[in-house]
Each structure stands twice: as C-alpha cells, then as structure tokens.
C-alpha cells in the first residue's frame, strides 16, 4: 500500500489567500518582486505550483538597492533563478543612499520609494495584471509592533495592506497568512536555496531588534502565537478602519469645501463633533491637501483642529496651511502687490487700480445733506476736514505703520489691527492708507483716526465713499481718472481745503 503524501500546509495557506481572497485569478500575468531572500524565493515557487492548477503567467523583477557589497551577487542569484525556471526577468537598480540624502528620507523609505517605482514601471512595460511581493505574517507582526511603539492610531495598527490599488495594476501580498520561519522550513525541506541579507542581522534597526529579540521573547515567555495574534489584530483593525473611513468620507463632504482646485476645511463647527470624528475629517482634508499622509502625525492633526484665526501651520517644507474667516486652506505664494503712492485733494474720484478700488470724496459743511454710512467702515468714512492737511497722501501699507483708530487708547501696528478685524493677509497690502502730515487718518474697513473724528464742533466734513473697481464719474471736477485735482509734482506744503 502506497504511503499517503502529507498535505502541503504552506501551499494550502498560500492558495487560500491568493485564490480564495481574490488576489490572483485565472489568466493573470503576475510580476513577482524577487530580492533573492527566502520569502521572495518561496513566493515564486508557490506561484509556479499554482500555475499547475490554473492558467497563470509568472514574471520576475529584481531591484538592486546598491547598499551592500553582496548586492551584485544577489542580482546574479536572481538571474540564475530566472534562467533555471525559464521566466522573464526585469532588473534595475539605483543609489538608494544618495536618493535618501537628497529627499531627506531614511534608507527604508527611500528604498521602498524607488523599488515600487521600478515595479510599477516594469509591470506597465510587461503588461502585468498583478504585482506580487513576499511580505509574510511575520512582517505584519513586526510592522504592527513598530507602529505601536512609535505612536499610531487605528490606521497604523492595520499594518501591511493585503492589496494596494494603483496604476498600472494592484500590488498583492499572498504570503501574509504564512510566518517567515515556516517558509524557510518549507524551502529547506525541498532543497531550495536563497540569499541571506546581512543587514537583517544589524540590531541598529528597530525592525531587526523586534524580529531577533522582542518577538522571540514574547513567544517564549508570554504567548507562543503572538505573531498570529498580531496579524489577526491587523486584519480586524483594517476592516473596522475601512468601515469608519466610508462613514467619515460622507461626513467630510460637509466640511471639506472644493472650488475648482482650491480646497478648504470649515473649522467653525468641526471641533464641535466628537473628537474621533473631527480628527478623521481633519485627516481626510490633510490627505487631499498634502497628497497623502506620509509625515503627517497625530500632533499635526491636533494642531490643525486647534489652529487660531489668522494663524498658520507649516506641516513640511512647501506645505503651509492658513486659517481665514473660519476656513483652513493651503497658503498660496501670492505675488506681492507693487507698492503705490499718490496724493489727493479729497474731491472727485481717485482711482486706485492696484487696490481695485475707487475713492469718491466730497467736502461739505457739517450738518449738511449727506448719506449716512451706518457705521460701515468698509463703505466709507466721514472725517473732520479742518484736522487734515491737503493734499492727503494715499499709499499702500508699509512695515511699521502705526494707527490710532477711533476710541483706541493709543497707537498700534496697522498690521495687527487689520488682522484683528479679520482682513485676509492677501488683501492687506492692497488696501489704501490715507495720511495727513505723515499720520494715518483712515484705512478702508477701519474707523477713522481718533484725532480726525467728526464732533459737535466740526465745521467741515470730508466724506469718502469706497466704490469697487470703477465707479460712475464724479458729478463735477476732473475726468474721473484720479489725476485731476492732485499734485503732479512733489507733495505740496499743508494747506486748507480749496474753496474754503
């Protein structure tokens, strides 16, 4: 009687994940990432075994990180495998250390960036329908512990995703249900060899210390199935996180405002939500604004939710957020407006193209006919004309400008007054500043200067109205261009208003 062949538990687990999980389907062209290590070699052997049961095309891809003296020998080993198995092979490499220095990344991040860039390019060139990598259950457990130690939320505890969408095809990880030591034993039982990466023994790296010290310690003294339990935790958290993500995406549409390419977050009511919901909505905004969540921490999200009016938050170089009128958006590098300066006798229309405004002035007797401003400082102002020296200087704001508006106890920086009034930073340098004898007497949007206020003893009033863009021609005096009744040369000495 023939002895019954024992079941191949490793292949059964692989098939259950790859086929049962829908990662690989009949007719797929799979590009397998092969470093030469035991996990990636086992991946190819298992794919070839699966090819005996279903139509499947297997191709190999090897990326040389050039970080070790043995990297060339690893590449030759993979070439030999490809020849032995008669499989197409794509090979490329890069100086990962130099790339990491240029991009200010650690070696692991830099290597991952370049490796996946190569894999996606090779998949596109070969027409692959799946990219397969050799991540194992042990890798999953190590990742969960690393993220837990560094501080993470649910998304981080989800660990390594089994499937990652992206062009030109998804990345699949069909070995996540198999522990690394089991794959090594499976290869050894079949007399298959692999390459050992000496850097995996370097205890300076956290992952290596977790693999060589922490996980064996926990398995020996606390819980023998710790790797399996951590991998299960990652799977449960991933499913819960996906459920929450779908709910939060609908909620985020109420708070994330999109106008063309402009993106902003409504912070007026968002902090009133449950903290967990508010954080997730803020994360969604940051995901879109930053193009991903790399380098975005829990503290960054908390700082965004606490951002004060008129304040800025720099997340990384080239990514600064600013809150204006209750909304947070990307701070744009606006071209600074050109400074401007002119003089004005207070009559007729003064056109200020740089400010996008027209000032219309009229001198009248106090108590005479005049439309009230209803205390709208943005629409205009009434000033005591006898306290002014004409022509007035009209110019853009300058650093160090000081102003004492009506009712203020003393002078303050104009910049701080405008900020307190909620005037957006982009518009502050365009606002016209009116001066008499070198002192600010009014700025649209602010009260008139304390010394120029209209009182019961005021005889003559300068009434100024603010018109947007171009207004109707003044009823008399000049062509409305802003050049009439103004000093064409150097500023004249102070004088009283004409006609008085």
pLDDT of residue 479: 36
Residues 325 and 345 in one domain: no
- Spatial separation of the C-alpha atoms in residues 49 and 46, rounded to whole Å: 5
Residues 272 and 181 in one domain: no
- Spatial separation of the C-alpha atoms in residues 497 and 363, rounded to whole Å: 8
Q: Residue 279: which of 262, 294, 263, 293 has the closest Cα?
A: 293
- Spatial separation of the C-alpha atoms in residues 212 and 142, rounded to whole Å: 10
Q: Using DSSP, state whether 125 is helix, strand or coil.
A: helix
Residues 349 and 380 in one domain: yes
In eight-state DSSP terms, residue 451 is G
CATH number, position 315? 3.30.465
Residues 85 and 210 in one domain: yes
CATH number, position 208? 3.40.50.620
Mean pLDDT of 106-134: 94
pLDDT of residue 477: 38
Is the Cα dihedral 108, 114, 116, 119 positive or negative? negative
pLDDT of residue 1: 46
How many domains would you assign to the chain? Answer: 3
Torsion-angle region of residue 365: left (phi > 0), alpha (psi -120 to 50) or beta?
Answer: beta
The 10s digit of each residue's pLDDT in 24-53 is 999 999 999 999 999 999 999 999 999 999
Residues 292 and 398 in one domain: no
- 32 assigned to some structural domain: yes
Place of tokens 């549409």: 253
In angstroms, how far apart are the furthest CA atoms of the chain?
Answer: 128
Q: Residue 152: which of 224, 241, 30 has the closest Cα?
A: 241
Residues 153 and 275 in one domain: no
Structure tokens, 485: 């009744």
Residues 383 and 464 in one domain: yes
Residues 299 and 404 in one domain: no
The 10s digit of each residue's pLDDT in 69-106 is 889 999 999 999 999 999 999 999 999 999 999 988 88
Residues 77 and 108 in one domain: yes
The 10s digit of each residue's pLDDT in 358-394 is 999 999 998 765 555 556 788 899 999 999 999 999 9
pLDDT of residue 388: 94
Q: Is the pLDDT of residue 491 over 50?
A: no
For residues 449 and 244, the model is more confident at: 449
Check if the beta carbon of residue 397 is closer than 8 Å to that of residue 429: yes
Residues 395 and 437 in one domain: yes
Is the Cα dihedral 335, 104, 40, 144 positive or negative? negative
Residues 423 and 386 in one domain: yes
For residues 436 and 154, the model is more confident at: 436
Q: What is the domain range of residue 379?
A: 341-468
Domain stop point among 274, 300, 330: 330
User: What is the pairing mode between strands 29-33 and 89-93?
Assistant: unpaired
Taking the complete model, does pTM exceed 0.75, yes or no?
A: no
Residues 423 and 355 in one domain: yes
pLDDT classification of 312: cutoffs 50, 70, 90: confident
């Amino acid at each position: 009687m023939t002895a019954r062949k024992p079941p191949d538990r490793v292949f059964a687990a692989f098939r259950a994940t790859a086929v049962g999980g829908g990662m690989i389907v009949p007719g797929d062209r799979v590009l397998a990432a092969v470093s030469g290590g035991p996990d990636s070699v086992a991946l190819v052997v298992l794919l070839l075994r699966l090819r005996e049961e279903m139509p499947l095309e297997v191709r190999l891809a090897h990326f040389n990180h050039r970080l070790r003296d043995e990297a060339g020998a690893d590449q030759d080993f993979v070439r030999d495998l490809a020849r032995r198995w008669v499989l197409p092979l794509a090979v490329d490499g890069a100086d990962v250390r130099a790339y990491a220095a240029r991009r200010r990344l650690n070696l692991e991040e830099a290597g991952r960036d370049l490796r996946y860039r190569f894999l996606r390019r090779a998949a596109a060139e070969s027409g692959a329908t799946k990219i397969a990598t050799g991540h194992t259950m042990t890798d999953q457990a190590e990742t969960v512990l690393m993220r837990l130690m560094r501080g993470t939320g649910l998304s981080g505890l989800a660990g390594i995703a089994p499937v990652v969408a992206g062009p030109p095809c998804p990345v699949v990880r069909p070995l996540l249900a198999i522990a690394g030591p089991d794959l090594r034993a499976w290869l050894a039982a079949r007399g298959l060899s692999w390459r050992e990466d000496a850097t995996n023994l370097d205890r300076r790296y956290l992952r290596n210390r977790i693999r060589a010290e922490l996980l064996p310690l926990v398995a020996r003294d606390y819980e023998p199935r710790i790797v399996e339990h951590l991998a299960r935790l990652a799977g449960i958290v991933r499913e819960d996180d996906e459920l929450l993500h779908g709910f939060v995406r609908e909620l985020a549409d109420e708070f994330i405002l999109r106008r063309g390419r402009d993106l902003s977050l409504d912070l007026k009511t968002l902090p009133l939500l449950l903290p967990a919901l508010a954080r997730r909505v803020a994360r969604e905004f940051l995901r879109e604004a930053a193009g991903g969540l790399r380098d975005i921490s829990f503290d960054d999200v908390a700082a965004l939710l606490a951002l004060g009016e008129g304040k800025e938050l720099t997340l990384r170089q080239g990514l600064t957020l600013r809150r204006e009128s209750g909304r947070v958006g990307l701070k744009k590098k606006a071209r600074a407006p050109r400074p401007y300066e002119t003089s004005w006798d207070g009559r007729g229309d003064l056109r200020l193209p740089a400010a996008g405004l027209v000032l219309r002035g009229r001198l009248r007797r106090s108590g005479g006919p005049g439309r009230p401003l209803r205390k709208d400082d943005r629409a205009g102002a009434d000033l005591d004309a006898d306290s002014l020296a004409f022509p007035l200087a009209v110019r853009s704001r300058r650093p160090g400008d000081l102003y004492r508006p009506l009712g203020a106890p003393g002078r303050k920086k104009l910049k701080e007054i405008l900020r307190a009034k909620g005037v957006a930073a982009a518009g502050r340098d365009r606002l016209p500043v009116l001066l008499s004898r070198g002192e600010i007497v009014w700025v649209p949007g602010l009260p008139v200067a304390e010394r120029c206020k209209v009182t019961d003893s005021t005889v003559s009033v300068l009434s100024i109205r603010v018109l947007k863009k171009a207004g109707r021609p003044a009823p008399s005096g000049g062509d409305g261009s802003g050049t009439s009744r103004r000093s064409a040369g150097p500023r004249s000495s102070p004088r009283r208003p004409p006609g008085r």
